[in-house]
Amino acid sequence: MRTRLIAAALMLAVPLLLACPSCTGAPQSQQKQLLLPVCVDDKWGYMDNTCTLVVNPQFDLASHFSEGLAAVRIGDEQTGSWGYIDSTGKLVVGPRFDYACDFSGGLACVTNRGKSGYIDKTGKFVWGPA
């Protein structure tokens, strides 16, 4: 049990250490803003690397940002839908997917009604379900 607690603490601490500006060695002007998901009172939002809340907790689940967007779920696991927000918390792709993955190469894999496909950053399908 103790080993599991130590492992869990390390898994949480390492990303925060990597996000720390003084740990990266890069000048402040060259550092990219890193937003990390944070849960407050059962709602998810995002904080920056100074632990300042940037996007207020309002989502039921949230993923990491990739290529400027993050997948967020609005609603519970059974009836909720996934969409994408930008770094200000604005929904740029409305919640309409059963599941949503991170963006990579400008595309993200999403699932809707048991069928998967790829969308671009506007939410338009480029391959798969229309």
58-96 pLDDT, tens digit each: 999 999 999 999 999 999 999 999 999 999 999 999 999
The answer to the question of residue 60 being in a domain is yes
What's the pLDDT at 103?
97
Q: Is beta strand 69-74 parallel, antiparallel or unpaired with respect to 81-85?
A: antiparallel
In-domain check, residue 7: no
Does residue 53 sit within a domain?
A: yes
Mean pLDDT (whole number) for 4-25: 41
Model pLDDT, residue 17: 40
Residue 26 inside a domain? The answer is no
Residue 107: alpha-carbon gap to chain centroid:
15
Token reading at 52: 């300042």
pTM (two decimals): 0.75
Q: Is the pLDDT of residue 25 over 80?
A: no
Domain assignment present for 58: yes
Task: Give the residue, 100 or 1, on which the prediction is more confident.
Answer: 100
Vertex 76 angle, CA 5 and 33, to 5°: 60
For the chain, give the number of residues: 130
Specify the residue for token string 């907790």: 57
Q: Does any domain span residue 17? A: no
Planar angle of CA 55, 34, 56, nearest 5 degrees = 10
In a domain, 123, yes or no: yes
Is the pLDDT at 4 greater than 70, yes or no?
A: no
Domain count for the chain = 1
Q: How confident is the model at residue 63, as a pLDDT?
A: 97
Question: Given this model, what pLDDT does residue 33 score?
Answer: 72
